[in-house]
Amino acid sequence: MENERYLRAGIDLKRLVLRFTGKFWMVAAAAAIGAALGICFYLLAHLVFAPQKEYQSVSKIYLNFNCEPEDFNELSYNGYTWNDLLDTDPILDYAMAELPAEVSREEVIAATKAEILSDIRLLTVTVTAEQSELAAQIMEAIQVSLIHLGETDELFHSIEIYSTTEPERPVWDNRTMNAGITGAVLALAISLLVMVFYYVLEDSVYVEADGEKRFDLPVLGIFTAGEAGTFQSYGKAFFANYSYLCRDKKEIALISVDCEEDAKLAQQMMEKILSTARLDREYANVPMRMPEDAIEVYEEVRNMDGVILIVRYGRGNGRRIERAISNLKKQNCKIIGMLIVEADVRFLKRYYMIPGSKRCKPKRAD
């Protein structure tokens, strides 16, 4: 039953949008925080916790095969085997003979990478090491061993060194701005989703439709906060509804679902509106204690003509309203309806305003 009420109430898009109004600073703040976090994480990852920058040397080596171009695909020296070939004993042993004794085979294997990027005749060798001098030494030793391979292996006429770069640290690809934008977008999306879920699932009462669709009770009216004296923007609507729904009632209980003081303040405002409108009948609106504090209230309400629930605007009190209605029904107390108090008049005026409409003016007779 409860789920059916929520489904029947649906989503009031205008109410949802207006609830967002004035909260967009939170979304902007979340985006700013996301951008800052994105930049911080990026800088930490690339400057603080990043591994030590290594030196890198790249060499382009030309392989002059001892065969015709149409036979290249049948060669055992192809793009998938060169990285393994450099680690084999014939080539690695010759390279190790060119290196200082303190350089191990494992260091040379870990530092060296060989690949065919496009043309099978052009080998790219990359050497990466923590020291510039070590990278240069390993590169020179590998080049010597490859030139020797070209002289001794019958598959080659020769192997020549085309170019070699000096060992240098790779230039940092600064993507700080991208990290900031990514963080801002993610934070923006998350904050919007959180706000949408919050406002969709929020059980506060803001307008008459909230009470009538969800709790299946008439809402007699809305009393706004901050409007002094007897003036209430929606006082006439309350008077009209009260006059009809309570036309045969002489003694009505006022019970707040939020705090006892709300019932007393609501009674005072009701009396001001009703006395100004000169309601032509005897009546009594009696503020009661909250039943949670005094269960004898139920007996008093049963002896009265009905009860009006006083509900405070926008206070997340949907569950309390449901509990109050349930207990009053169990106690055989007649519920006349609800009255929303302490409402935001600016929100209500925006909500009930019809965009593009103007107050009607009577036509002048010709």
**Residue 164 to residues 26, 82, 127, 167, 290: CA-CA distances in angstroms?**
55, 18, 11, 9, 88
Report the candidate in 39, 46, 41, 42 with the shortest Cα–Cα distance to residue 172: 46
pLDDT greater at residue 281 or residue 209: 209
Predicted confidence (pLDDT) at residue 145 exceeds the cutoff of 70: yes
Spelled out in words, what is the top-level CATH class assigned to the domain 55-164? alpha beta
Q: Which of 116-130, 140-154, 274-288, 322-336 has the lowest mean pLDDT?
A: 274-288
Looking at the chain, the domain(s) classified CATH 3.40.50.300 span 204-352
Return the top range by mean pLDDT from 138-152, 263-277, 346-360. 138-152
Predicted confidence (pLDDT) at residue 1 exceeds the cutoff of 80: no
**If you ran DSSP here, which 8-state letter would residue 131 be given?**
S
Instruction: Considering the domain delimited by 204-352, tell me its CATH architecture.
Output: 3-Layer(aba) Sandwich (3.40)
pLDDT band with cut points at 50, 70 and 90 for residue 279: low
- Cα separation of 98 and 141, whole Å? 5
What is the edge-to-edge ordering of all strands in the sheet holding 112-116?
112-116, 122-129, 55-65, 156-164
pLDDT band with cut points at 50, 70 and 90 for residue 176: confident
> End-to-end CA distance of the chain, in Å?
58
pLDDT greater at residue 222 or residue 278: 222
Looking at the chain, the domain(s) classified CATH 3.30.70.1130 span 55-164
- Buried (b) or exposed (e) across 342-354, using 16+ Cβ within 10 A? bbbbebbeebeee
| Rounded average pLDDT over 236-265 | 93
| Rounded average pLDDT over 188-213 | 83
